[in-house]
Amino acid sequence: MDTGAPLAGEEFKFEIEGFLLSSLPISRVIKYLEALKTLIGAPAHTHVQSLADGSLHAGLLVDGSAAVKAHECLGQASREDGGRPRAAFVHLNAMIAEDGGVGTLRSITRDRRLLTFPGRAQRTDPLPSFWEEGALRGRLVGLATRAIEGRYAGDIRNAVETQRFFCSEATALALTKYLFTVPIEVSGRGRWRRQAEAGQWKLLDFEVSSFRALRPASLREIRQQVQEAGGLGLNSPEAMDTLRGIR
């Protein structure tokens, strides 16, 4: 960020749109001003000159001796690797988002916008979760010996991740012999939520109603299943070699 030559003193204007200043408790306004002074990097040399009614509009004056440092901090705050100034920016932006606003910080003296606070525009609320019948497959790698609110927890590991499920005491006892042995499939109802930022599905809860051990199928059985499903183009005498290569 090009800040220009240092000045004897500098006026800043901090604005938040999206809510009324009068709707905030005094303690919240004070926290905003303290966070702003921390962001500027010179709390002892930053003075609040005015607070306008309506949205939160604050005029500030930074003493000339601290103006250079203030611009250095604001320059760092605009970068992802900006250290403490960036952390101060993230903290202030989180406050603005929590109150449902968006903000800006301008240098009145230089007639220049220095920072934009996306606030609510950057906030991603979690998508709603839903229950769905399904199954988890993998190797049982954990099984609780004590119940929490009447449920026993277990962990099943597949090639990608370890997933947590819950079951009754009777099911937990029956599952004990499969701990760290053959792969199993547990069936029941799972509660899922799609992650807005990554587009992936996250399992929040899974209630087991039944399970079964999975017997590893032989190569010949797999070939037979593929052929019964339509062949997938593997009906030639070379099918066994192809499947062996894939496996």
In this prediction, residue 232 carries a pLDDT of 45
Residue 25 token pair: 């408790």
**pLDDT above 80: residue 184:** yes
When mean pLDDT is compared across 3-12, 142-151, 173-182, the lowest value belongs to: 3-12
In this prediction, residue 57 carries a pLDDT of 84
- In CATH terms, 130-213 corresponds, of 2.60.120.260, 2.40.50.140, 3.60.20.30, 1.10.3720.10, to 2.40.50.140
| CA 40 remoteness from chain centre | 28
**d(C-alpha 122, C-alpha 210), whole Å:** 43
When mean pLDDT is compared across 8-17, 215-224, 237-246, the lowest value belongs to: 237-246
**d(C-alpha 165, C-alpha 149), whole Å:** 14
Averaged pLDDT for residues 167-187? 95
Query: Domain boundaries in the chain?
Result: 10-121, 130-213, 222-247
**pLDDT above 70: residue 245:** no
For residue 149, the number of C-alpha atoms closer than 13 Å in the C-beta half-sphere is 1
Strand-strand pairing, 184-194 and 130-143: antiparallel
- pTM for the model stands at 0.48
β-partners of residue 129 are none
Neighbours of 10 (CB within 10 A): 23
In this prediction, residue 185 carries a pLDDT of 94
- For the domain bounded by 10-121, which CATH number is listed? 3.30.70
